Amino acid sequence: MNVRHSVLILFAAGLVSSCGGVPPAAVPPTTAPATPLVHLTESNPPGDIPDDTVYVVYRHPGRPYELKVPEGWARTDLPTGAGFTDKLNSVRVEIGAPADPPGAEIRKRATVNRKGGKAELTVYRIDSAPDPVTGKVIRDEVERYVFSRNGRQAVLTLTGPVGADNVDPWRTVSDSLRWLS
């Protein structure tokens, strides 16, 4: 057999083994198989506010409080305060007396300490308003804080879908409320 035939036979054997034609035991391992790099993608439930959210201070003209709200959220001015929304979440702050909404599933009532003082916390669940396009209704979890000072009450209402991991963002917002006078 000449060199030319030997080279062709070796080439063909290599081709066959790379195509799986030769059992693995017959092909000596050259290197360990490369392990693909796995990049864990954060899978957030609907309504999860990102951890890198930036907060800005909001002061309502004519109202005696300020608080931090997520930057870029749409603001709605209310006769008694303001509301901020982004997708499935909302922050609402008003001066006045709180009321439990009809159909609310009360989960917890407690007195809590925040940087702005003591607050009465009520956690409850309620159905969202229907989506104007799809008509879909989701179950929301609501944290309502009532801060009192000099006969006034500031009601801070934080709303997001049940299961959203908004513990840190809601803590940032509820810790930021402070009285100005």
- Name the pTM for this structure: 0.74
Find the helix or strand (DSSP H, E) in which 143 lies. Answer: strand 139-149
pLDDT tens-digit series, residues 52-101: 999 999 998 888 999 999 999 999 999 999 999 998 999 999 999 998 88
β-bridge mates for residue 154, sequence order: 95, 147
Q: Kindly indicate whether the domain formed by 55-179 is annotated with CATH number 2.60.120.1690.
A: yes
Q: Where are the domains of the chain?
A: 1-29, 55-179
pLDDT tens-digit series, residues 136-173: 999 999 999 999 999 999 999 999 999 999 999 999 99
E-strand stretches of 16-116: 55-59, 65-70, 74-78, 81-86, 89-95, 105-114
CA distance 140 to 13: 65
